[in-house]
């Protein structure tokens, strides 16, 4: 299994018989070199979307058309993509699980907001979410954009993820100290990978505080397009 950061909150996860793209942001992503964009999405079998903000959705239609990969996420958000001509969407909801080949993907709550810009201002497109992904004897919790929330208690206890991909840049989401607190209080991760950081000046620029706050946990600062192998 390979977890590959595409910068910001975007990931490529090569797991079982699947290549999952989570919130793939290509155009305008200041962390992903232009000459790596095609490589980032090559072979994609499924696209998962956590919420509606532009840095998570603006390239979904283009990537879905280019790769032929189906798109799944919150029911209302998928209805919006349907209206925009995106084909082969699956709208489900918190508590639901879909099967992507041999990989199970469950939708879990996040605490953030979810809208897409339009000529008439922000259009709200259902609740913000995270995902729990099971395959190759691992359970991955991708928090989506979120702050600390009490729902992490049952997510950690019920799914027992061993890998946490946590938004940790601050300003729009948890910061590194909050992510460390959440990981320590609610989960028993073996590995934690921070994301949604370093992209902009307002965000945290390194994960030292996260690593210092989680002794005994393998905190891996990802590098764009460099696989983290499990």
Q: How many CB atoms lie within 10 A of CB 172?
A: 20
pLDDT tens readout for residues 3-14 = 999 999 999 999
Q: What is the pTM of this model?
A: 0.97
Residue 162 β-bridge partners:
none
Residue 50 resides in a domain: yes
Q: How many CB atoms lie within 10 A of CB 131?
A: 25
Residue 228 resides in a domain: no
Residue 25 resides in a domain: yes
CA-closest candidate to residue 95, choices 26, 40, 155:
155
- Domain with 108, as residue range(s), is 2-222
Distance CA 229, CA 31 (A): 21
Please name the residue that has the structure tokens 């002794």: 215
Residue 229 resides in a domain: no
Instruction: Give the per-residue pLDDT at 155.
Output: 98
Instruction: Give the per-residue pLDDT at 203.
Output: 97
Q: Phi and psi (nearest 5°) for 193?
A: -120, 115
CATH number of domain containing 17:
3.60.15.10
Would you say 158 and 140 are in contact if contact means Cβ atoms under 8 Å apart? no
pLDDT tens readout for residues 30-69 = 999 999 999 999 999 999 999 999 999 999 999 999 999 9
Residue 230 resides in a domain: no
- Alpha-carbon distance values, 70 to 7, 12, 107 (Å): 22, 15, 16
Ranges under pLDDT 70 in the chain: none
Instruction: Give the per-residue pLDDT at 120.
Output: 86
Q: Rg for the chain (alpha carbons), in Å?
A: 16
């Amino acid at each position: 299994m390979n977890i590959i950061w595409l910068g910001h909150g975007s990931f490529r996860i090569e797991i079982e018989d699947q290549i999952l793209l989570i919130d793939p942001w290509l155009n305008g992503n200041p962390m992903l070199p232009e000459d790596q964009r095609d490589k980032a999405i090559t072979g994609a079998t499924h696209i998962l979307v956590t919420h509606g903000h532009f840095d998570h959705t603006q390239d979904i239609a283009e990537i879905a058309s280019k790769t032929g990969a189906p798109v799944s996420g919150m029911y209302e958000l998928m209805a919006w993509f349907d209206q925009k001509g995106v084909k082969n969407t699956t709208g489900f909801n918190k508590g639901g699980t879909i099967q992507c080949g041999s990989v199970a993907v469950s939708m879990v709550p996040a605490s953030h907001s979810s809208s897409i810009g339009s000529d008439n201002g922000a259009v709200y497109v259902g609740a913000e979410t995270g995902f729990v992904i099971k395959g190759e004897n691992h359970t991955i919790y991708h928090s989506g954009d979120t702050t600390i929330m009490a729902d992490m208690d049952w997510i950690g206890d019920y799914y027992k993820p061993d890998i946490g991909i946590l938004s940790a840049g601050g300003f729009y989401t948890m910061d590194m100290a909050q992510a460390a607190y959440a990981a320590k209080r609610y989960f028993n991760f073996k590995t934690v990978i921070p994301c949604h950081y370093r992209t902009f000046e307002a965000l945290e620029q390194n994960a030292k505080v996260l690593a210092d706050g989680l002794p005994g946990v393998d905190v891996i600062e990802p590098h764009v397009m460099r696989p983290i192998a499990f």
